[in-house]
Amino acid sequence: MSEFEKELLNKVSPHDRTHNGHELFLGGFLAEHFKDWQPPKPQQSLPVVPEDVDKAIKYLKTQNNFATLSDLKKLDILTEKGFLWLNDFQFKDRRFGFGGLNNKLFILSHLAITGYTVEKEKKYILKHIDLSEQDNEVSLYLSHSLYKELQHERYSKDVDMSEIKRCHFIQSEIDELNIGSYEQIEVEP
């Protein structure tokens, strides 16, 4: 059964359709009802962007409409991963790819208007294996300090580490650390 037939059966009541057991369609009624009918369009999925591309779009929408790409990079809003994602998006979409519009700010604006979903990166806590004291119920975790340096902090095993954001690391940060004796524990974002 076609989409048109389904729509027709849903919209036309049985007393409008039958007359002495035969199908009878009121021409004026159908013509009026289906004059602008179009088959449903398939839903396009929204692009999934990394968190820093989302931050850049929000920054441009709320903070500074005249920002440049160098501003976004200088302020650590758009990372190298974000630039690489924008390059991939640009070359996969024919509107922006080879011979198309080669402007990352235009792509960010396009995403802000048409919509997108944000990819949530997995986050981990790093618990030191050798220095965590199992007898005292205290563990040693790696954390970010205020000055973007790393430090160790002791927490009781009763503490919910998913709430302590300074102890959260994404995989790319962990890969850059070149650390040894830490247990990598995934936390819910």
Q: What is the pLDDT of residue 131?
A: 64
pLDDT at 18 over 60: no
Q: Contact, 143 vs 169, CB < 8 A? A: no
Strand partners, 126: 184
Three-state DSSP state, 153: strand
Q: Which two tokens stand for residue 121?
A: 């990166």
Are 111 and 52 contacting, i.e. CB atoms less than 8 angstroms apart?
no
- Give the predicted TM-score (pTM) of the model: 0.51
Q: How confident is the model at residue 181 (pLDDT cuts 50, 70, 90)?
A: confident
Q: Using 50, 70 and 90 to split pLDDT, how confident is the model at 77?
A: confident
Q: According to the model, what pLDDT value does residue 157 have?
A: 77
Please tell me which residue, 83 or 132, carries the higher pLDDT value. 83
Residue 14, pLDDT above cutoff 60: no
Question: What average pLDDT score do residues 179-185 get?
Answer: 79
Q: With 80 as the cut, is the pLDDT of residue 180 above it?
A: no
pLDDT tens profile 82-99: 888 888 888 887 777 655
How many CB atoms lie under 10 A from the CB of residue 187? 17
C-alpha atoms less than 13 angstroms from C-alpha of 26 in its C-beta half-sphere? 13
Instruction: For strands 169-170 and 123-128, give the pairing.
Output: antiparallel
Domain locations in the chain? 3-33, 48-118, 123-187
